Amino acid sequence: MPDAASAGEPRPLTLPATLSITSASIGLLAALLAFGMSSAPGWRELRWFAVCATFAALFNLANAPLTTTVSESTLELASRLSLFFGGLHAATWFKYAATYENRRLSRGESTWVVVGLVVALFTLVPGALLEDRIVPRPVPFLGVTYADSPPTPLGVAATTYYIASVGFLFVRALRRRLRGDVGSTTHAIALGAVVMGAVHDALAASDVIRSPYILDLSLVVFVLAVGGSITSRFVASARALEASSHELAAAQQELVKKERLAALGELAAVVAHEVRNPLAVVFNATAGLRRAQPGSADHLALVSIVQEEAERLRDIVSDLLEFARPRPPVLAATSFDEIVRGAVDTACSVVGVDASDVVVELHDDVGYVTCDDRLVRQAVVNLVTNALQSTGRRVPVRVGIAEDHGRKMIAVRIADDGEGVSDELRERIFTPFFSTRPKGTGLGLVVVRRCADAHGGDVVLRATPGGGATFELQLPRRDP
């Protein structure tokens, strides 16, 4: 034993102790990183690598006192802990290897692991696997003396058992590599290093060779080799993800392009259909005007027809422009009452009904709201127009404002008592160019949806009690 031990004089850490602590730090860091990464899909096996690396680090820490000036009881405990954590490391390698290969432990492997764990527990029993005495083993060329407990015959058998365990895993990893599994290369390197280090240290502990323990360094090779493999795999996954992201972006651009072309074709069909009919009526009326006596009843009727169809063309063009040229919202403080009342008046004028066909229920405390008044006004016009033109309507359309102070939302609610919207049509009514009316362009509700999205709001459709449909344009309440 070192003289300083008996004198109780401390001295700096030896080179082997420093290497043991450094190796343990590397192992614990690798275990922490592996455990953090193991929560990601496809990286579950890293949990068992983290366990292996943790036991390797604890083995290294247990070896740190063996060349320092500590008490014999501390050296005996360190010797037992070293063999204990070495056994746990060997046992958990089986589980890590099986998880890496995406399989369960075989019955033979499970039995082998259980026996190894039992043997490891016996290591903690004083005198079972290690003798209750400390034997100094000087290594002159390093200027240090190892002091640890020599193994009992059962301890020699346990050490052989552990070395055989790692050796078996090494042979299997080598066979997998020879069969073309590139990922097994690092496992074969790591296990080979551990086998060589374990055999060397067993010979050194038996005084067959005069050499320092090197299993600490072998376990660092294990951590660095497998950790490097994990890093390479992570980089490859990141590059694959980046490539997939680029491919997805390109596919999305191509999809958007195709959707635009499809929408353009649909738009052309709508324009051709909607514009052709009014133009045919105008041409027929014009031909009749040439024959009609100016000021006669026929003349006035034909002029009225021309005006009606011209207004219809104007509405079609307005809807198409609203759809084809969306613009970002221009937010400003606006009287919400004025927006709704103005939109109701416009809708009544467009449909050609009296103001009494709409009942407006507003309250005085709404005040000013920050929004794009043009977008909101057009959206309300479209909703009120649809309600006024709903099939089967018998009573006036009801328009009101509702506030949700908890969600900080304000909504315009338009309700009619018509036939309502069937479940089959609910998912289609916001599709561009879809309309249930012969003269509709199918763009009115699209403009409403666009207004809601531009403000960060929503459009909600509910059934009106007693029959009909209630549309609610919900907007965030942004007070000026």
Question: What would the pLDDT profile of 259-314 be if each residue is shown by its tens digit?
Answer: 767 766 766 666 665 676 677 777 777 877 777 777 777 777 777 777 777 777 77
Alpha-helical segments (H) within 180-326: 184-205, 215-291, 297-324
Same fold, 3-243 and 332-476: no
Classify domain 3-243 by CATH number. Answer: 1.20.1070
| 29-68 b/e (C-beta count within 10 Å ≥ 16 → b) | ebbebbbebeeeeebebbbbbbbbbbbbbbbbbbbbbbbb
Classify domain 332-476 by CATH number. Answer: 3.30.565.10
Dihedral sign computed on CA atoms, order 40, 41, 45, 47: positive
* SS3 assignment, position 129: coil
Among 6-20, 29-43, 216-230, which is the least confidently predicted range? 6-20
Residue 10 in this model has a pLDDT that exceeds 60: no
- The band of 21, judged by pLDDT with boundaries at 50, 70 and 90, is very high
Between these two residues, 80 and 317, which has the higher pLDDT value? Answer: 80
Q: State the pLDDT at residue 142.
A: 86
Length of the chain: 480
Which one, of 376, 468, 353, 344, lies nearest residue 417 by Cα? 468
Among 2-6, 55-59, 129-133, 275-279, which is the least confidently predicted range? 2-6
> What type of residue is 25?
S
343 backbone dihedrals φ, ψ, rounded to 5°: -65, -40
Parse the chain into domains and list their residue ranges: 3-243, 332-476
- The band of 399, judged by pLDDT with boundaries at 50, 70 and 90, is very high
- The band of 472, judged by pLDDT with boundaries at 50, 70 and 90, is very high
Q: Return the number of other C-beta atoms located less than 10 Å from residue 148's C-beta.
A: 23
Among 4-13, 111-120, 427-436, 437-446, which is the least confidently predicted range? 4-13
Between these two residues, 125 and 479, which has the higher pLDDT value? Answer: 125
> What type of residue is 219?
L
Q: How far apart are CA 211 and CA 192, in angstroms?
A: 19
Q: State the pLDDT at residue 324.
A: 67
Q: State the pLDDT at residue 8.
A: 45
Q: What is the pTM of this model?
A: 0.55
Find the mean pLDDT for residues 152-163.
92
> What type of residue is 4?
A
